[in-house]
Structure 1
Amino acid sequence: MMQANHWINGRWLDNGDERGHTLNPADNTPVGYYALGSKALTDQAIDVARSVFEAGQWSTKPRVRAQVLLDYADRLTERQNELADIIVQESGKLQSEARGEVLGCISECRYYAGLARTIMGRSTELDTGQWVSFTREAAGVVAIIVPWNAPATLLIRSLAPALAAGCTVVVKPAPQTANVNRIMMECLAAVTGLPAGVVNSVNENGIEVGQRLSVHPDVDVISFTGASSTGSAIMASAAGTLKRLSLELGGKAPTLVASDANLDIAIPQIARHATIIAGQMCTAITRVIVDPSRFEETAEKLRDALAEVRTGRGDDRQSTMGALIDARSRDRLLGSLDIARRDGEIWLQGQTFESGPLAKGNFLTPTLMQIQDVKHELIQEELFGPVLNIECADDEADMLARANATRYGLAASVWTESVRRAQHWTRGIRSGSVWVNAHNRLAAETETGGFRHSGLGRLHGMQGLDDFLETKTVYFAED
């Protein structure tokens, strides 16, 4: 059995018999073990990261940082097949999704390697003999708290810009995907140019490690991806030490289907991006808001497309949707379906597997429901599963109002042949990302982040560096 240990100051640390285990969501069999973290280990990792940062050698060498990221991309490339296999085993997602995740990590490392060498300041002359320069410097020690649904990508999209900026890092991986993180750290440990202690990793033990990172005075930045409720708790805990926060939180992504939408293009993509990672993605489509003239046609075609989704093991090439992360998530969603039957209409009922090879796994087939009341709990709350709500709007104004009816604002999409309508809707939707005739088009070069309860700050792209940099003003006066 594999075991994920802590990585602190360039050394692997074990806790002896103190360990947890990870399970394969497809059959709930053990995948591997991980050493349990603690407050003491977290403090040790933070102390190392602080000491290395204060020494100044890492934060003042952009070419070294760029080369480290390039070498890291090479190490990930060498182990990409192994890494994808472990992602499938511990998260339950499809092999194609896992491979795409790993390729995204490699791209992100190479992108920020380039930006590491282009961090520049500016200067201005206030008056004769009065010069001011503005420099961009590393923010300090960064804590990265990683979720389980995309454990490689959601680590790298914070780690790569943090390293490019010159920060030192403490990582807390999700316990469900601890061995994915192990391989990510092993690839990093194989980079000879990385000084010991620049990156450290401590496994979780309940909530002890995450809580310690949130309150420790020597952590300058927290980068967290996860539920809005957890992000709010981190924000409250971090307030006492005035940490900078980079938070990508929950989503309730709507997609708007206009009267002129090309359904032959829209329906397959809506079905795909409602069931990506079994709907366990914060940018997955959860609401389909349809012009009244196209509602029945859209609902019927979408029902048929979702019915064709083949739910199964991630390592089965015939599968088009994998498992939920655990039985608790499946049972929670089944409870939501009971509420949907009571308060709305079911176009397609999600099913579990009571017998056969999938019976031991955490599987739930897609659901298409119709609840019209935008204040209903199933519309307002993030469900995080393959459950899609379709809504018939009164008119275009109502479509836009419905898109903005929740407290979330992470992602959205619109389907229309009209440039004027696309411009109007993309301007009116309160969301950090809006795609036109597409959904979930993500890249290292394009920033993502949320409005309102969906988070603070931006990741990816040039702005992805901002949360890990400080601006210093230096004034020069003539004698």
Structure 2
Amino acid sequence: MDINRPTAQNYLNGEWIGGETAAESLNPADGSVLGRYSPGSRALADEAATVARETFERTSWAASPRLRAMVLYELADRLEAAKDELIDLIVAENGKLKREAAGEMMGAISETRYYAGLARTILGRTLETAPGNVSMMNREAAGAAAVIVPWNAPVTLLIRSLGPALAAGCTTVIKPAPQTPLIHSRVMQCIHDCPSLPRGVVNSVNENGTEVGEALVASEDIDVISFTGSSRTGKRIMAGAAPTLKRLSLELGGKAPAVVFEDADLDLACRELTGGALMMAGQICVAAARFLVHKPIEREFTDRIRAAFAAVRVGPGSEPSSEMGALIDTDNQARIIRLIEQASDEGELILKGGVPDGRLSRGAFVTPTLFRIDDVSSELVQEELFGPVVSIETFEDEAEAVAKANATRYGLAASLFTRDINRATRVARAIRAGTVWLNCHSRLFAEGETGGYRQSGLGRLHGVEGLNDFLETKHICLEAGVVQA
């Protein structure tokens, strides 16, 4: 792949805008420079918000569902045409495996087409409250939306917010993650190349520290913030948006428990949970982060999952033999190493991970870690670790399993493994999480809503409900009277 790319620029009102300075984007697998990007600014963010506001108010975009559907279908076609190039770029700039990057692209293309179809099916309702009194409940675009995108799945997590925003009739400003600007720039080129897209509907401003995100959150021109990221940053966004009372769609942190009962198929459970915990090197909010194991099978499960984790081959995402890629950068690598040492102090290390030797030592690689812990109050259990570090905890009965599953402030996802359908139904209902997988882990698709309970966020993404955060309901009341005899 040719990675000698031009500088990733900002995009306003259909035009590319560079800057006097440029920051580097690095390959996390070896530390090499992939390219550069032009940081944005508060002024540029304000200008983009103004463009989005004026485009929303002065054009017919919000009233043109067929045009919006056409644009989304065009975008899906362009993403599909650029799929192989983007897969290679995701591997290089993000560090994930090639098969993970391919899954991300296929998911993004599917989701774009899904919301293209929904763009023409946004329906209101009518009712008659008394003779001659007619009410119309119209569903209308909420206005200008800011989409703040994380680095761990920079294409899919952009599309799952941008798709419903455009389908609903919103105009947009995107703030991409500074760790993956080249990926985002290539997606923006796909957007720019859509022939039916009106100027000003989609804009993008690169981050510069925190000033671009803060400007969008505070802007009077922005009506909706769609953010995916940590709960800590989500709280800052809520505070920053309070003066303007913006609508917020927040998919935040997770600490997904996987509950394994004594009657579980352990071959299936270990296979699913190895993938569910180590996909994207554990850098995904729905990763299986806590293994809650029924006491009678603790030893057998621990032996099996340790062997499965130890067998995982860590290496560059571009190599077919690799089974887990790099972390996003060396800062996060150092953070994970500190967490492993903390796990050694507070619990019992079952499998100690570390930085591999040889050529991999140049990249942000860390091998998987498993540790046993009994203290549910430990920050190792309570906090999102966002890496290949997983705890093993035990329970005596169903009630304790539910209590431990609900013991953190998060509620994004969970899974449970049992052959008993009645138990599966009871426990799934009792776990406070937006998604509960039965005898599997991490199944995400465009048609199925995802989102969190408690400090895992507000609102839902994917599915029909993904439109809700970008729509308002307007009541139009008409007292037409009745036909006079």
CA distance in 2, matches of 1:397, 1:238: 39
User: Cα offset for 1:342?
Assistant: 1.1
Amino acid at match of 1:9: N
Name 1:65's counterpart in structure 2.
68
SS at 1:250 equivalent: coil
Superposition pairs of residues 28-39 of structure 1, within 5 angstroms = 28-39=31-42
Name 1:4's counterpart in structure 2.
8
Name 2:416's counterpart in structure 1.
414
User: Cα offset for 1:56?
Assistant: 3.7
Superposition pairs of residues 170-209 of structure 1, within 5 angstroms = 170-209=173-212
User: Cα offset for 1:335?
Assistant: 1.0
Name 1:213's counterpart in structure 2.
216
Q: 1:105 aligns with which of 84, 105, 108?
A: 108
User: Cα offset for 1:394?
Assistant: 2.1
Q: 2:29 aligns with which of 16, 26, 40?
A: 26
Q: 2:471 aligns with which of 459, 469, 477?
A: 469
Equivalenced residues, count:
477
Q: 1:153 aligns with which of 148, 153, 156?
A: 156
User: Cα offset for 1:19?
Assistant: 1.3
Amino acid at match of 2:424: A
Name 2:448's counterpart in structure 1.
446
SS at 1:151 equivalent: coil
Superposed CA deviations along residues 231-285 of structure 1, whole A, max 9, x for unmatched, are 0000000000000000000000000001110001110110111000000000000
Amino acid at match of 1:465: L
Amino acid at match of 2:104: E
Name 1:459's counterpart in structure 2.
461
The answer to whether the aligner puts 1:266 opposite 2:260 as a matched pair is no
Name 1:351's counterpart in structure 2.
354
Amino acid at match of 2:461: L
Superposed CA deviations along residues 52-94 of structure 1, whole A, max 9, x for unmatched, are 1001410001001001101100000000000111111111000
User: Cα offset for 1:357?
Assistant: 1.2
Superposition pairs of residues 248-259 of structure 1, within 5 angstroms = 248-259=251-262
CA distance in 1, matches of 2:66, 2:195: 14
User: Cα offset for 1:6?
Assistant: 0.6
SS at 1:363 equivalent: coil
SS at 1:359 equivalent: helix
Amino acid at match of 1:61: S
Amino acid at match of 1:455: G
The answer to whether the aligner puts 1:77 opposite 2:80 as a matched pair is yes
CA distance in 2, matches of 1:171, 1:342: 42
Superposed CA deviations along residues 321-353 of structure 1, whole A, max 9, x for unmatched, are 000111111111111111111111111000212
The answer to whether the aligner puts 1:329 opposite 2:332 as a matched pair is yes
Q: 1:169 aligns with which of 172, 184, 192?
A: 172
User: 5+ unaligned residues in a row in structure 1: which ranges?
Assistant: none
The answer to whether the aligner puts 1:243 opposite 2:246 as a matched pair is yes
Amino acid at match of 1:12: W
SS at 1:123 equivalent: strand
Q: 2:399 aligns with which of 397, 400, 414?
A: 397
User: 5+ unaligned residues in a row in structure 2: which ranges?
Assistant: none
User: Cα offset for 1:478?
Assistant: 2.3
Name 2:232's counterpart in structure 1.
229
Name 2:384's counterpart in structure 1.
382
CA distance in 1, matches of 2:180, 2:298: 40
User: Cα offset for 1:433?
Assistant: 0.3
SS at 2:180 equivalent: helix
Bigger mean CA offset, 158-167 vs 41-50:
41-50
CA distance in 1, matches of 2:44, 2:59: 24
Aligned-residue identity in percent: 54
CA distance in 1, matches of 2:27, 2:372: 32
SS at 2:426 equivalent: helix
User: Cα offset for 1:28?
Assistant: 0.9
Name 1:294's counterpart in structure 2.
297
Amino acid at match of 1:15: G
Amino acid at match of 2:423: R
The answer to whether the aligner puts 1:42 opposite 2:80 as a matched pair is no
TM-score normalised by length of structure 2: 0.98
CA distance in 1, matches of 2:432, 2:325: 31
CA distance in 1, matches of 2:365, 2:328: 9
